[in-house]
Amino acid sequence: MTGAVMRERRGDIDRTTATITYALAEMRQQARPPVPPEDLLKLLRSAGDPTRLKILQLLGVRARSTREIAGLLGFTEAAISKHLKLLADAGWVEQDRHSYYVYYRLAHNARDNLTRGLDEVLG
């Protein structure tokens, strides 16, 4: 926030004008709620597994079903489902049901939460 005061005199009248300028980007950043350390740890721990990291890479391209991910990585659908549950619990992925299939995609705010949480911790 910055401000300025201008004074001017017109005849017998003194006029004082104060202006205040707000930095909106800074205010928006300050307005975001902090990421609790537990949530940041969940994000980091869940992405730290090589299989889950590969799943995140695949979902970064587009939404996919458990069956498709299992076929691409050479795992059973049950194993992929367990990994996806951990990623969903940590906030990395969201799911959409289409008829028989459930499609998983990256959560919209997962990267922002990770970045903001690391900024808060590391300064």
Q: Which amino acid is at 89?
A: D
Q: Is the pLDDT of residue 11 over 90?
A: no
Q: Is 91 left (phi over 0), alpha (psi -120 to 50) or beta?
A: left
Alpha carbon distance 118, 44 (integer Å): 10
At 95 the three-state DSSP class reads strand
Each residue's pLDDT tens digit, 56-106:
999 999 999 999 999 999 999 999 999 999 999 999 999 999 888 899 999
pLDDT tens for 22-49 read: 666 666 656 666 667 788 888 999 999 9
Contact in structure between 114 and 83 (CB atoms under 8 Å):
no
pTM: 0.68
For residues 10 and 14, give the distance between their C-alpha atoms in angstroms, rounded to a whole number: 6
Residue 20 has pLDDT above 70, yes or no: yes
